[in-house]
Structure 1
Amino acid sequence: MSQETKTMNVFERYLTLWVALCMVVGVALGKLFPGLTSSLRGLEFGEGSQINVPIAVLIWLMIYPMMLKIDFGSIARVSRKPRGLLITMVVNWLVKPFSMAVIGWLFFKKVFLPLIGPELASQYIAGVIILAAAPCTAMVFVWSYLSDGDPAYTLVQVSVNDLIMLVAFAPIVKLLVSGATDLQVPFKVLLYSVLVFVVIPLAAGSLTRWWFIRSKGPEWFAEKFVAFFHPITVLALLATLVLIFAFQAENITTRWFHVLLIAVPLIIQVYFNSSLTYGLMKLFRVQYPVAAPGALIGASNFFELAVATAIALYGPGSGAALATVVGVLVEVPVMLSVCRFCLATRHWFPIAPVVALERTPQLR
Structure 2
Amino acid sequence: MPLESCMLVLDNSEYMRNGDYTPTRFQAQAQAVSAVFSAKTDSNPESAVGLMTMAGKSPSLLVTPTNDIGKLLSALNKANIGGVSDMTTAIQVAQLALKHRENKNQRQRVVVFVGSPLDDSKDELVKLGKRLRKNNVFIDVVTFGDEGMGNDEKLNALVDAAGGGESHLVSVPPGPHLLSDVIMQSPILFDPERAGAGGSGGGGGGDGEDGMMGMDDFETNDPELAMAIRLSMQEAQERAERDRAATTNTASEVAAIPEEPPVPLDPEQGKQGGLTASMTAPLSNANDKRIPGAPGDDYEDEDMEGDDDEEEALLARAMALSRGEDFEADISMEYDEEDDEDEEAAIARAIAMSLEENKEDKEDKDKPSS
TM-score class, shorter-chain normalisation, is under 0.3
TM-score of the superposition, structure 2-length normalised? 0.23
Higher helix proportion? 1
Q: Quick one: higher RCO (CA 8 Å, sep 6+), 1 or 2?
A: 1
Higher Rg of the two aligned structures: 2
Higher strand proportion? 2
